[in-house]
A and B are shown apart, each in its own frame.
Chain A
Amino acid sequence: MADATMTARPGAPSRNWLLTLLELRTYVALIVVFTVFAIMAPNFLSVDNAVLISKHVAINAFLAIGMTFVIITGGIDLSVGSTVGLTGMVAGYLVLYGIDLGLGWSIQFNTLEIVLITCAVGVFVGWINGILITKLHVAPFIATLGTLYVARGAALLMSGGRTFPNLNGSGTYGSASFPAIGAGTFLGVPMMIWILVAVTAVAIYISRRTPLGRAIYATGGNERGAALSGVNVDRTKLFVYMFSGLMAAIVGIVIASQLRAAHPATGEFFELNAIAAAVLGGTSMAGGRGRIWGTIIGAFVIGILSDGLIMMGVSSFWQMVIKGLVIIAAVVIDQWQRKLSARIALTQEAH
């Protein structure tokens, strides 16, 4: 023992550059796709194009934020695309007809009321999902697959499959401002982008600085452990599905307002793009890990990729292949990062 010497460890462990690079992979991907298209696609850098892309991204980003919370709790919400369709139809119906009371009487709504009622419908779909999952113990995949069909069917039933056209609103009833939600601008920036900024800020706040946010992570990280620690797991799950439904309703309203029409097939496969953005942004499908900001960046990567490839004239078939490869690559890199950071933490703790 006498000749055993202790080597002094360096005081502060130096930051591992590889780990840093892997952690920032979503940003790296964003910069790469941006640079590539800036060079190769004509008109990519124009203001008009920036506005167009950001509108596309926003649609997906709303859903992806809701999806991120759901996935962090260890669940999945397949119903958001259908809920977009259903809530769009609800908004369209209210703009066109109001609520018919019979005998020639009807209640008409102003824009704010239409938005609130439609959001309530989206939240209600999420509440159904949440009840199915927490009280009736249906697996999230199955529960939301069921509501996917039900919501889509309900959307089709509302109009017999037809489109609600000419949603211009009415000055008499105070709904003339309805088209402005999707098409209007404030300080030169589309309204929907402002809404997205607000929603993102709230979501980030919830995830980082509230007991609710911590409960979302804990529920996905270890449900039993969270429950024994006093986390109300059921209420947490109920919240994330209702929040996801709310996001779907916002998208439904925005699209109906943008197009001044509501079509019952709107939103098909939107849920898959939302999942892709969340995963690309570092959300773990196993639950417990993920960041809202990462998801936003992920949504931008996917949006820029899609639009850029279209502008370059790449066939939509190749677009799908490329999108798929990017998602898989993101998850593989995520695995590397996790192994590396676990190893670094272990060497730090060993003494």
Chain B
Amino acid sequence: MSADHPIGLQVRNAVKVYPGTRALKGVDFDIRMGAVNVLVGENGAGKSTLMKVIAGVEDLTEGRILVGGEEKQFRSKDDAVTAGVGIVFQELNLFPEMTVAENVFMGREPTRFGVDVKDNEVLERTRALMARLEQKIAPETTLGHLRIGQQQIVEIAKALAQDTNILILDEPTSALSAQEVNVLFRIIEDLKAQGVGIVYISHRLEELIRIGDYITVLRDGEITGARSMEGVDIPWIVRAMIGDKSKDFASEITHDYGPTMFEARDVSLARAGGGWTVDHVSMSVRAGEVLGVYGLMGAGRSEFLECVMGQHPTARGTIEVDGRPLDGCTVGQRIQRGIAIVPEDRKRDGLVQVMAIRENLTLSSLPRLARWFDLSPAIEASKASEFIKRLTIKVASAENPVSSLSGGNQQKVVIGKALMTEPKVLLMDEPSRGIDIGAKAEIYRTIRKLAAEGLAIVFVTSDIEEVLALSDRILVMADGRVTREFPHGAPASDVVTAANPAKAGAIPVSKKDNAEWPMQP
């Protein structure tokens, strides 16, 4: 098999050190041409770092990159492009108000005398690229009018426009529908046949097994498995991803549960253009219980939490906290009734960066700290320092801006803010995102301790290790629905399998059928 697939690019003994962490610890990675090289691992395993190194965005601390057997230095993105490496990031970097052709050649338009863009050449070359990808997308179309899957194709065209023979796709299917995934896979098959080496990163294991020729598994910056895809199944991948024994925080502190504190019934959120982002989700949690909701990106888990916090006016279903419904409540009223959230994106949703640590901690509790309308600085400061102690937040002064703290300590400030409202139910979205390993364990212990104190906790995550380590009970979501429920101690591969939407496998990939895009809704 390897004879058919020559190695195009090799990474040897790659070490990447960031201040405080070793993101890559001596990684060897081969990219085989005319094949799909799958790369898989948990968040923070080092996948992105490895791809950034190959794309020339980051420098290696130690180690070598060989292209066609020759050692190459990738000092900048341009070096990587010259070597034929193109990357399509998970977040699309496109301009919705411009045409497809303008997007494809953004920043490197062919010009006369460096000023006058050769519009015809841009259009013709884009047309040729779309023909190569067998897409009926006119180069003159305004990009924003295309479906998200088509926009993804434009990103791929953008990469191919630079004579790419190695194409890195970072979680390309997370935003795509089943049909769109099939079109993408057909394009990947075509590119493979044209000899392009493809690196495919995804959390959707079913998909990886279906499309991949070779698989490499990363864990904590090390390779834990690398082989041809033949004979690989989900349990094998999960074992390589998380190891045989993972730490079990759930069994460290055990306690009895109280009455039902949180109840959601048929919570639904319609998707723009038909279908459901959150599809009639029901769950209930008792005081002292930690419920882990596991799901891949696009499964609707964050959207479910947003519905619970009243962020979607069109959402339907009922939510009760301690027996009281939250219908029609503002966020402030929801917080008063005993529910608080620790959002996924600390910077965007969790903290006010320009404010002091103290001000962030007390932000949700101001009505209860104030006497009528008077907010006593002394009371506020003592309340803030109480929570700094309680959560062991490492601060030089509570008056420093919250932005000066490390990720783990910032997360504790967000948790502190939620706890200060004395909630009965605590919602957490990806509680350990962007936090280093040491701080992670501390956050986990804090969560278990809070549950032992009688708090009902619902957390959602895409990290299989996290959901296994932390939950008393696990719900798995896929395509907006709850697909399975597991007790504490369930085997990892069962949980992962339940999270893999069946949609991608339902329609077989074939070369020429399905070439048409689904109708616009």
Contact = CB atoms under 8 A, between A and B. Distances in A.
Interface string B372-387: 0111110000000000
A288 B404 contact: no
Contacts of A227: 331
Interface residues of A, number: 31
Interface string A86-126: 00000000000000000000000000000000000000000
Contact of A345 (B350, B377, B394, B401): B401
Contact of A221 (B350, B354, B394): B354
A215 B366 CA distance: 9
A211 B335 CA distance: 15
A211 B359 CA distance: 11
Given A209-B377, A210-B374, A224 B404 contact: no
Interface in B359-399: 359, 362-364, 366-367, 369-370, 373-377, 394-397
Contact of A217 (B311, B350, B355): B355
Contact of B395 (A218, A231, A349): A349
Which of A13, A221, A222, A232 has most chain B Cβ within 10 Å? A222
Interface in A323-351: 342, 345-346, 348-349, 351
Contacts of B369: 211
Contacts of B334: 230
Contacts of A351: 394
B400 A348 contact: yes
Contact of B351 (A13, A215, A222): A222
A263 interface: no
Nearest to B417: A229
A152 interface: no
A225 interface: yes
A214 interface: yes
A259 interface: no
Main secondary structure, interface of A, reads: helix
Given A232-B330, A342-B403, A349-B404, A226 B352 contact: yes
Nearest to B374: A209
B349 interface: yes
A229 B406 CA distance: 21
B477 interface: no
A213 B366 CA distance: 10
Nearest to A351: B394
A225 B350 contact: yes
B349 A224 contact: yes
Contacts of B497: none
B480 interface: no
Contacts of A221: 352-355
Interface in A186-232: 208-215, 217-218, 221-222, 224-232
B349 to A, nearest CB: 5
Which of A208, A209, A230 lies at the interface centre, i.e. has the most chain B CB atoms within 10 A of its CB? Answer: A230
A288 B364 contact: no
A211 B373 contact: yes
A260 interface: no
Given A218-B355, A221-B352, A289-B354, A231 B363 contact: yes
A228 B404 contact: no
Contacts of B417: 229
Contacts of A225: 343, 348-352
B354 A288 contact: yes
A229 B375 contact: no
Contact of B375 (A13, A211, A222, A349): A211
B375 A346 contact: no
Contacts of B406: 349
Contacts of A212: 373
Contacts of A342: 401, 403-404
A321 B188 CA distance: 62
Nearest to A284: B354
Contacts of A13: 396
Interface in A237-257: none
Interface string B89-110: 0000000000000000000000
Contacts of B396: 13, 345, 348-349
A214 B349 CA distance: 17
A175 to B, nearest CB: 34
Contacts of A213: 375
Contact of B352 (A208, A210, A218, A346): A218
A211 B366 contact: yes
A218 to B, nearest CB: 5
A345 B354 contact: no
Given A209-B377, A348-B400, A348-B404, A222 B331 contact: no
Interface string A279-290: 000001000110
B505 interface: no
B341 A228 contact: yes
A288 B352 CA distance: 9
B404 A345 contact: yes
Contacts of B311: 228
Contacts of B363: 214, 218, 226, 229-231
A350 to B, nearest CB: 9
Interface in A135-156: none
Contacts of A230: 330-332, 334-336, 363-364, 421
Given A209-B374, A211-B370, A348-B404, A217 B359 contact: yes
Nearest to A224: B349
B309 interface: yes
Nearest to A338: B354
A217 B358 CA distance: 14
Contacts of A214: 359, 362-363, 366, 375
A214 B396 CA distance: 23
B229 interface: no
A228 B343 CA distance: 8
B405 interface: yes
A349 B377 CA distance: 23
A346 B404 contact: yes
Contacts of B403: 342, 345
11 contacts: A209-B376, A215-B366, A218-B359, A221-B354, A222-B348, A228-B331, A229-B335, A230-B336, A232-B332, A288-B354, A345-B403
Q: Which 10 residue pairs are nearest across A and B when measured between Cβ atoms?
A: A221-B352, A211-B366, A345-B404, A230-B332, A348-B396, A288-B354, A230-B335, A222-B352, A229-B364, A345-B400
Given A221-B355, A226-B352, 10 more contacts: A209-B376, A211-B366, A221-B353, A222-B351, A225-B352, A229-B363, A229-B417, A230-B334, A230-B421, A342-B403
